[in-house]
Amino acid sequence: MSMRYNSGLDGIKQYVGGKQKKDAQTFFDGEPVKMSSNENPLGVSPTALRFAAESLPESNIYPDGANLELRKGIAALFGIGPQNVIVGNGADEVIYYAAMAVTNDGDEVVIPRITFPIYEIAFRIMRAKIVYSEMKDCYIDLQDVLDKITRRTRVVCICNPNNPTGHALLHDDIYRFIEAVGPDVLILMDEAYSEFADGETFPDTVSRLKEGRENLFITRTFSKIYGLAGFRVGYGIGGRELIERLHRIKLPFNISLAAQHAALGALQDDDFISETLSTTRDGRKLIYAALDKLGLRYIESSTNFIFIDTGKDGDLVADELMKRGVIVRSAKNYGTPTHIRVTVGTKEQNLRFTDALASVLK
């Protein structure tokens, strides 16, 4: 008799994160720049760091398992109650919880072909059937997502702005989409990069939830604009019943004391957020100008990363950049063989990238 495993795992490829500095150090003598995982190039929010440090001596005590103070802090940002918020060990965790909460064997989940891979993993674990929505060029096609919904569909996943393309769907399109999806289908709206998007045209999905669209579950993270990727804090916003059910699944003490305090500090650090935003906006412009000069196609980004068609094999370009001390992500595994995704960095990092790219493509 041999071991039997969860059959949902058979179709899963392990998630592989962006390459690390140590990967580059085997090829490159100097200090490499890591532009592969969309982290904040300015570091950790200083207020977050201070709050976390102050909490450390109390780390012999379990943190508040209900994460209530942090949920209240997040809720206040959106004018909702803490009963509408769950916090997770990264947004990844709440995405897993959502999959666990709504999926039964064989349910269908619609996922755009080119998007963040965690949805597919989480729903496959739950033995869902993944139905891919085809992209229009490299853009999510909301009409195609709607067309893929059947009686068996339980969830549709929309990453807005989308990773790895960086493209944001506009409010009118998203509002129409939300109206068109039946109330029995959960819309997993992943807004991990929303803070980088244009506030004028970006959808206010939380207001739709407040208006009664209880099939919306909106996920966000402290990993990007707040600079807390290493602390691991993300959250989900949804209807009270969904959030209550997610708390039945939640690990009892899923976020460390230090991480909870870091997130509370980050929420107060408006200066850090403005600085991150202006660094990102300036950085996008600098990189666009260099890409224009090289004659490369890219998608205008609403995030802190840019999706670039290098016209050459993406793995090869990423390897060559690595040899020059610049770590980016090849997008070959997303089904876009000639693309790379680069995180917008500081001015100095962006120049290292654009110089290295010009030298690779010469």
Per CB under 6 A, does 225 bind ligand PMP? no
Contact between 45 and ligand PMP by CB under 6 A: the answer reads: no
Q: Does 255 bind ligand PMP (CB under 6 A)?
A: no
Selected range binding ligand PMP among 75-83, 85-93, 165-173, 317-325, rule: CB under 6 A: 85-93
Report the alpha-carbon distance of residue 64 to residue 69 in Å, rounded: 8
- Which of 161, 283 has the CB closer to ligand PMP? 161
Q: Is 231 in the site for ligand PMP (CB under 6 A)?
A: no
Q: Which is nearer to ligand PMP, 112 or 360 (CB)?
A: 112
C-alpha 318/C-alpha 325 separation (Å) is 10
CB nearer to ligand PMP: give 92 or 320: 92
Which of 223, 260, 279, 338 is close enough to bind ligand PMP by CB under 6 A?
223
Tokens 């208006």 found at: 211
- Name the nearest CA neighbour of 98 among 133, 131, 130, 125: 125
Part in contact with ligand PMP (CB under 6 A); list of ranges 89-97, 127-135, 310-318, 348-356: 89-97
Candidate list 159, 168, 225, 342; residue touching ligand PMP; CB under 6 A = 159
Q: Phi and psi of 338, rounded to 5°?
A: -110, 10
Residues 221-238 as b or e (16 or more Cβ within 10 Å = b) = bbbbbbbbbebbbbbbbb
To ligand PMP, the closest distance from the beta carbon of 92 in angstroms equals: 4
Q: Which stretch binds ligand PMP (CB under 6 A): 48-56, 88-96, 200-208, 324-332?
A: 88-96
Measured CA to CA in angstroms, residue 303 lies from 20, 105, 196 at distances of: 21, 35, 5
Q: How far is the CB of 230 from ligand PMP (least distance, A)?
A: 9
What b/e readout covers 37-47, taking b as 16+ CB neighbours within 10 angstroms?
Answer: bbbbbeebbeb
**Considering the rule CB under 6 A, would residue 74 count as an interface residue with ligand PMP?**
no
Instruction: Tell me whether residue 341 is exposed, middle or buried, using C-beta atoms within 10 angstroms of its C-beta: 0 to 12, 13 to 18, 19 or more.
Output: buried
Only one of the segments 87-95, 100-108, 175-183, 350-358 lies at the binding site for ligand PMP (rule: CB under 6 A); that segment is 87-95
User: For residues 275-334, which are near ligand PMP according to CB under 6 A?
Assistant: none
Taking CB under 6 A as the criterion, the residue among 84, 163, 343, 349 binding ligand PMP is: 163
For residue 130, give Cα distances in angstroms to 8, 113, 124, 151, 170: 11, 10, 7, 14, 25
What single letter denotes the amino acid at residue 326? V
Total site size for ligand PMP, rule CB under 6 A: 12
Give the one residue of 51, 97, 116, 226 binding ligand PMP; rule: CB under 6 A. Answer: 116
Degrees to nearest 5, angle at CA 284 with 324 and 15: 65
Q: Hey, CA dihedral for 222, 215, 118, 135, is it positive or negative?
A: negative
Which CB sits closer to ligand PMP, 18 or 283? 18
Least gap, CB of 96 to ligand PMP (angstroms): 10
With contacts defined by CB under 6 A, name the span among 23-31, 96-104, 221-229, 322-330 that binds ligand PMP. 221-229
Residues in the chain: 362
Q: Footprint of ligand PMP on this chain (CB under 6 A)?
A: 90-92, 116, 159, 163, 190, 192, 221, 223, 229, 234
